Structure 1
Amino acid sequence: MNDNDKQPGGDSGGPNPWMKSLLIWVGILVALALFVTLIDNRSVGPNVNGIAYSQFLDRVQNGQVKDVNIAGEVVTGTMSDNSKFRTYAPQDPRLTDRLREKNVTITAKPEDPTPIWQILLVNSLPFFLFLGLGYFVMRQMQKNSGSGAMGFGKSRAKMLTQKEGRVTFNDVAGIDEAREELQEIVEFLKDPTKFARLGGKIPKGALLVGSPGTGKTLLARAIAGEAGVPFFTISGSDFVEMFVGVGASRVRDMFAEAKKSAPCIVFIDEIDAVGRHRGAGLGNGNDEREQTLNQLLVEMDGFEASEGIIIVAATNRPDVLDPALLRPGRFDRRVTVPLPDIEGRVKILEVHMKKVPLAPDVDARTLARGTPGMSGADLANLVNEAALMAARLGKRLVAMAQFETAKDRVIMGTEWRSLVMTTDEKRMTAYHEAGHALVRVHTPASDPIHKATIIPRGGALGMVVSMPERDNYSYHRDKMYADLATVMGGRVAEELIFGYDKVSSGASGDIKQATKLARAMVSQWGMSDALGPLQYEEQQGETFLGYSQTQRQNMSNETALMIDSEIRKLVDGGLMQAREILTEHIEQLHRIAGALLEYETLTGDEIKRLAFDGDIGRDDPDAKVSIVPGAGTSIPKTRRPKGGGPFGNPAPAGA
């Protein structure tokens, strides 16, 4: 929100909070000083000795008093040694006679009455002091809970106008279907009578559902920007406080402010913070969160579409929302904001690249192909990382090399340039990654290889990156078999080159990935002939590649044993296929590993040229990479079992 977009009813100027706090403390200190001064005026002055009345009479009797001044009950005077004294005398009628007997000079004056304002000030000052201190403490406690000392129930929604930073549908790319779903809301806000003439009612609310970073908030702002109406934004967590009734009061105040600015859009981000199932949490049904939700439901029923208020909410957990919140009449429309496909990623990259000076070799489509599963926020971060990297290198333009490095950094993490690896560890990593790459090259169903590297990055010592031709929304059996063989290629390469006893723990991630894929094939996707097309496990949380956390259904022990056996058969099949490929093409494995040791990073085209032509294709004297000597070249080719393929299924014709 810019400086000109202030919340209605809020302060638009004046001293800043620091100055206000300073002025309050200065006032408190001045009041304390005045109070102490008034009290001190009644006390003994400087260089005046207070003595008891009995001592005063003794000194009069001894002739030590020179003169006195009597003012009511207060007696002051001077001793014979010129020292001052002060005492309080009771109603003693003989005092004057005693003083005259000793020739003491006597002066008298009436007692000065204390002014009434001074009495009132002294008596009331402590009360006002504690009142001001309490007010200051309340202001400090409530400065984020609304305006004023009693601002607990004020809405914390911020109003954004379209004076600056206006967002339109042109700024929203990659989610065309969701944008079209909300287009009629924009038309309604522009011309409400268009729908009223035919008896149609615009939805009161729209629920945007999607993964984090897909652009739900940006899409809601674009609706307001296209329609040119005010935009109120608030988070679901801003409603709920520790004080009972505060959330419900804020809901009422938010809708009251929205009605004053109608037509407008009220955007509630992360509505699952307040809209969860009632009765599902701890405590009884009258807790603060449930009261806030009840008030929200009542308020959404309390206004008509003709009032011009559209409620737009966003969440990535629609499964936890209360059913009463999703019924028609409240959030009538549910709009899914998905992760962008390849065309959407191209558009999103082009939107963010407009702000960056690009080199001629930058290709947004190539970057989009290499970033499947990335959200709009991830792609914006990718462009920003590439620009920062080019600035650090002193470049005037951002080239494709910076985008590739930024992509690896976003996906895998920062390079470990300071990591010291021994020659044997680096050599094993090179053969491990070469094994992955070579199996992928020789399995046609695999995605095309993009590059291979042995530069440590994130939690991996190396990686092989594929480049899908298109986004995959379903996976075929041959693709899954190829993926199993590719995943196991690294472990097989280590065993072939360094021996059975030298296999390292570097394949732990590969084994985990292969086991997940095989388990999903058997228990969820019905790709086991022995178990048939039945679902034995439920998905609990999907990921982009289709792998998920699962929960096993009720089943017998025999069925569980069969599932484990089929998973083992699939993983062993991938291991067998990888061993066949690498044993048959052992010289290609040596060439790719040697090139990785020399250049550290190879492109997909270079890997193919090394495998089939023996030439890396680089314009330098060392373009030819010699075969790196290694163990395992004499290992015989593993044969397939009779009557079956490597995955335990019937062998295809011509195998």
Structure 2
Amino acid sequence: MKKKRFINIIPYLLILLVFSSLLSYSSTSNTTRFAYNEFVARAEKMNFGDTNISIGRAKLDISGYYYDGEQKVAFSASIPNTDENLAWAKQVLDEGTGADGQQANKITITDPNESNYWLDALLNIVPLVILIGATVFLFSKMNAGGNKQAFEFTKSKAKIEGNIKVRFKDVAGCDEEKEEVKEIIDYLKSPKKFADMGARIPKGVLMVGPPGTGKTLLAKAVAGEADVPFFSISGSDFVEMFVGTGASRVRDMFKKAQQTAPCIVFIDEIDAVGRQRGAGMGGGNDEREQTLNQLLVEMDGIGENKGIVIIAATNRPDVLDPALLRSGRFDRQITVSLPDKKGRTEILEVHARNKKLAPDVSLENLAKRCPGFSGADLENVLNEGAILAVRDDRKMITMDDLDEAIDRVMMGPAKKSKTYTPSEKKLVAYHETGHAIIGLKLENANIVQKVTIIPRGNAGGYNLMTPKEEKMMPTKTDFLAKITGYLGGRVAEELVFNEISAGASNDIQEATKIAKMMVRSYGMSKLGPIQYDDGSGNVFLGRDYTSGSNYSGEIAYEIDKEVRNIINECYERAKLIIQENRALLDLIANTLLEEETLTNEQIMNLVNYGKVSAPVKENLDEKPSTEVSEQSEVVDSLDHVPNVENIEIDEETMITTPTDEPEGPVKVEEGVDKDPVAPKDTEE
């Protein structure tokens, strides 16, 4: 280490030496050199200071300085060495009076013959030798470093980590995945008992799942629980522009792994190097394919129960080469999926360990509001909540901070500076309320959590709804309810304003996508249980390039017809629901115009009591204005809001929030309508 530091200092020493040489040269260049005749002519008129006379065999070398007024000027001169010249020089130089007119000069006489010739020669040669030697040494080190880098270019870039601190307790929301890797930990701790039983532990484990679900964290937890070294590398670190580099790095990585066995080798984003060979027009990538071939060979070269386990992660298992997934290589696949409500609660508890939460914060309720969030998203929600608390100089994170954090993660920060015209604001309010009405009144629907008309990102407003219970296999009724919910905003605009806007573009896109999947993939149409979509898609340019669709033109016409029928059926259903609940639509829309944001509790108060706040306990026996039914999921984003200043609303069709509380007892019907097309509301 010290030697490397000394080598790094050498360039600075050379620069210092060059500067000192330049300074000595500059000081020599400032000395005035007199010729013999000139010095003899001017010497008697000059006022000399300290001088030196060097008596040589043939000449006298005179050097020193003289005064030009008050300024000192260095000079040098040479005169023949005779007794007369020496006496004359002593007399002339001794007559100097200094700058103040007083005798201040000093004459020094030296004999160069008395000095050591070899010492003088050595003093003159040593600096030159040092300079040349330092230059040669520096260039030799630079060449050696370049050669070393050339050899290290083929070395593996895998990072070796020891003493991993991550444990299973730090990985939440994936209990089944932990069970799948427990025997790997057992094997790394005591491989002998597996060998005695004749069992073979999988050489490779492939973790598959959406981004942010914790695949890398789970792999580290396995290494931490087994207390073995952890090699981590990305698939893109193998591939370089030079052919053969990736294969060399693979060989070097497995060589190091065998030297440190037992250990875990983790390859992140393995699809960067493990893609199918020969895919694409004109062939594939030669360097990547050579790297993949070497990876396959090295995995086959690992003997059984040698203490090396390879864990890879990807979110694109469909593009991997089949040879990589065969038995004996990555023969065990672990799907790390998005967490459910219980898993989300556990993940929030893990990430909330170092957060200062207010007493009213309920992580379980927070998890209910985040369906579809990955572990990374949940960590981001808590982090955004902490940032908001710090921004407002609060000592603890409140539920309002976390509520705003969810909105920021999903849609981006609120654009409060963006202002609507009154007509645009009313249009957005009715659009979002239309989605909420479908969620409130449609059978098999979900819980309305929040409705807002505050712009966020590209959305003019949005409607957040969460399912009552998360389903692994949605039914046809669920898909139809979702499509109907997406169309609720467009229907509300048409019924209230007799006009439609471009704000429903994203709703139409999502509804059409679901309808196509129902017909082409799920067999939920009159065409029967036939899949007209292969589901793989063109992963690479050239893959199935020459193959056409697997159905005829007549079937394509029938598919388009069925998609149109599904959309039209859901559109008419949404129109019927909103027409039957027009009073509730106007009530929620008018309240939304005043409040800008309505929560689940406020919406249910409007449905039950006709006002935002619930009545006092003495009046709880009064009758609600509208019956409560089940709700459906819809998350809407209003992308574009046109200028609708000329749109007028018939005031006779609008109602205002009642000032008096409704009379009569409260009646909430527990059952739901059996007709999914036209649910009916019972009002008393």
- TM-score interval (norm. to shorter): 0.7 to 0.9
Please give the secondary structure, in 1, of the residue aligned with 2:15.
helix
| Distance (whole Å) between structure 2 residues aligned to residue 75 and residue 371 of structure 1 | 101
Q: Distance in 1 between matches of 2:435 and 2:336?
A: 35
Aligned counterparts of 1:232 and 1:108: Cα–Cα separation in 2: 72
Structure 2 residue matching 1:30: 3-state secondary structure: helix
Task: Tell me the distance in 2 between the aligned counterparts of 1:205 and 1:227.
Answer: 16
What is the CA–CA distance in structure 2 between the aligned matches of 1:240 and 1:50, rounded to whole Å?
A: 72
Structure-to-structure mapping, 1:561-580, within 5 angstroms = 561-580=557-576
- Distance in 1 between the 2:169 and 2:32 partners? 86
**1:510 maps to amino acid:** D
Give yes or no for the alignment of 1:518 onto 2:537. Answer: no
2:283, 2:599 → 1: CA distance?
61
Are 1:455 and 1:462, in contact at CA under 8 Å, matched by a contact in 2? yes
Q: Distance in 2 between matches of 1:402 and 1:654?
A: 39
Rounded to whole Å, the distance in 1 between the matches of 2:266 and 2:530 is: 43
CA contact (8 A) 1:496 1:631 kept: no
- The question of whether the paired residues in 2 share the 8 Å contact of 1:591 and 1:626 is answered with no
When residues 259 and 495 of structure 1 are mapped into structure 2, their CA distance, relative to the original with a 3 A threshold, is same
User: How far did 1:424 drift?
Assistant: 1.4
Shift in CA distance, 600/130, structure 1 to aligned 2, threshold 3 Å: farther
The one-letter code matched in structure 1 to 2:222 is I
Distance change in 2, residues 1:413/1:284 (3 Å): closer
* Structure 1 position 276, deviation (Å): 2.8
Aligned partner of 1:129 in structure 2 is 135
Alignment deviations for residues 581-635 of structure 1 (CA, whole Å, 9 cap, x no partner) = 2222211111010111122222234324423542333469xx99999x9428669
How far did residue 282 of structure 1 move? Answer: 9.0
* Offset at residue 554 of structure 1 (A): 4.1
Instruction: Please give the residue correspondences for 1:196-595 in structure 2 after superposition, counting only pairs within 5 Å.
Output: 196-280=195-279, 287-500=286-499, 503-529=500-526, 531-539=527-535, 553-595=549-591
Amino acid aligned to 1:197 = D
Residues in 2 aligned to 1:219 and 1:370: alpha-carbon distance in whole angstroms: 25
User: For 1:404 and 1:21, how far apart are their aligned partners in 2?
Assistant: 58
Of 17, 23, 28 in structure 1, the residue corresponding to residue 14 of structure 2 is 28
Partner SS for 1:268: strand
**CA distance in 1: counterparts of 2:431 and 2:16, whole angstroms:** 77
Matched to 1:553, the amino acid is S
Deviations 1:389-424 (A, max 9, x none): 233333333333222221111111111111111221
SS at match of 1:247: helix
Deviations 1:185-225 (A, max 9, x none): 00011111111111112222212122111111111111111
CA contact (8 A) 1:594 1:626 kept: no
- Of 612, 619, 633, 1:616 maps to 612
Q: For the Cα contact (< 8 Å) 1:441–1:608, is it kept in 2?
A: no
One-letter amino acid matched to 1:256: K
For 1:339 and 1:50, locate their aligned partners in 2 and report how far apart those are by CA, in whole Å: 93
2:504 corresponds to which letter in structure 1?
A
Closer, same or farther: CA 245–527 of 1 in aligned 2, 3 Å: closer
The 3-state SS of whatever aligns with 1:207 is strand
- Match of residue 89 from structure 1: none
**Corresponding position: 1:631 with 2:643:** no
Return the offset for 1:297: 3.1
Identify which range, 243-252 or 453-462, moves more after superposition.
243-252
Q: What amino acid sits opposite 1:512 in the alignment?
A: Q
Amino acid at match of 2:518: M
Check conservation: 2:161, 2:230, Cα contact below 8 A. Answer: yes
> What SS is found at the alignment partner of 2:530?
coil
Contact 1:217 1:314 in 2 (8 A): yes
In structure 2, distance between residues paired with 1:653 and 1:517? 22
The RMSD of aligned alpha carbons is 4.6
Deviations 1:91-149 (A, max 9, x none): xxxxx9xx99xx999x999997895896697479458527625845986x89xxxx878
**CA 521–112 in structure 1, closer or farther in 2 if over 3 Å, else same:** same
The Cα of 1:156 is off from its aligned counterpart by: 2.8
SS of residue paired to 1:539? coil
Q: How far apart, in 2, do the equivalents of 1:520 and 1:161 lie? A: 48
CA contact (8 A) 2:205 2:334 kept: yes
Residue aligning to 1:160: 161
Aligned equivalents of 1:196 and 1:203: distance in 2?
A: 13
Q: Provide the secondary structure at the position in 1 that maps to 2:330.
A: coil
Q: TM-score, normalised by structure 2?
A: 0.73
Contact 1:413 1:457 in 2 (8 A): yes
Q: Secondary structure at the match of 1:266?
A: strand
2 CA distance for matches of 1:517 and 1:181? 34
Q: Distance in 1 between matches of 2:247 and 2:77?
A: 69
Given that 2:14 and 2:131 are in contact with CA atoms closer than 8 Å, whether structure 1 keeps it comes out as no
Question: Which range is displaced more, 426-435 or 466-475?
Answer: 466-475
Name the CA shift for 1:619/1:650 in 2 (closer, same or farther; >3 Å): closer
Where 1:212 maps in the other structure, the secondary structure is coil
The residue type paired with residue 30 of structure 1 is: L
1:380–1:618 distance in 2 versus 1, CA, 3 Å: same
2:508 is paired with a residue of what secondary structure? helix
- Structure 1 residues 410 and 276, CA, compared in 2 at 3 Å: closer, same or farther? same
**Which gives a bigger RCO, structure 1 or 2 (Cα 8 Å, sep 6+)?**
2
Q: Percent identity?
A: 45
The one-letter code matched in structure 1 to 2:467 is: P
Equivalent pair of 2:577/2:679 in contact (CA under 8 Å): no
CA distance in 2, matches of 1:275, 1:541: 18
In 2 relative to 1, CA 557–273 (structure 1 residues): closer, same or farther, beyond 3 Å?
closer
- Residue of structure 2 in register with 1:546 after alignment: none
Confirm or deny: 8 A CA contact 1:31 1:129 kept in the other structure.
no
What is the distance in 2 between the residues matched to 1:408 and 1:541? 33
Seen in structure 2, the aligned counterparts of structure 1 residues 488 and 287 have a Cα distance that, compared at 3 Å, is closer
Partner amino acid, structure 1, of 2:325: L
Q: Is the 8 A contact 1:498 1:632 kept in 2?
A: no
State the partner residue of 1:188.
Answer: 187
The unaligned stretches of length 5 or more in structure 2 are 43-53, 67-74, 88-110, 539-546, 627-647, 655-674
**Which sits farther off after the overlay, 321-330 or 568-577?**
321-330
Cα 1:29–1:282, aligned 2, differ >3 Å: closer, same or farther? farther
- The 1:116/1:359 distance shift into structure 2, 3 A limit, reads closer
Task: For 1:151, give the aligned amino acid.
Answer: E
CA 70–532 in structure 1, closer or farther in 2 if over 3 Å, else same = farther
| Cα pair distance change 1:35/1:588, threshold 3 Å | same
TM-score when scaled to structure 1?
0.75
Decide which moves more: 382-391 or 438-447: 382-391
Contact (CA 8 Å) 1:210, 1:315: kept in 2 or not?
A: yes
Q: Does the Cα contact within 8 Å between 1:207 and 1:333 map onto a contact in 2?
A: yes
State the SS of the aligned residue for 1:464: strand
| Structure 1, unpaired ranges of 5+ | 1-10, 87-95, 543-550, 636-648
Distance 1:487 1:652, change over 3 A: closer
Shift of residue 47 of structure 1? Answer: 4.3
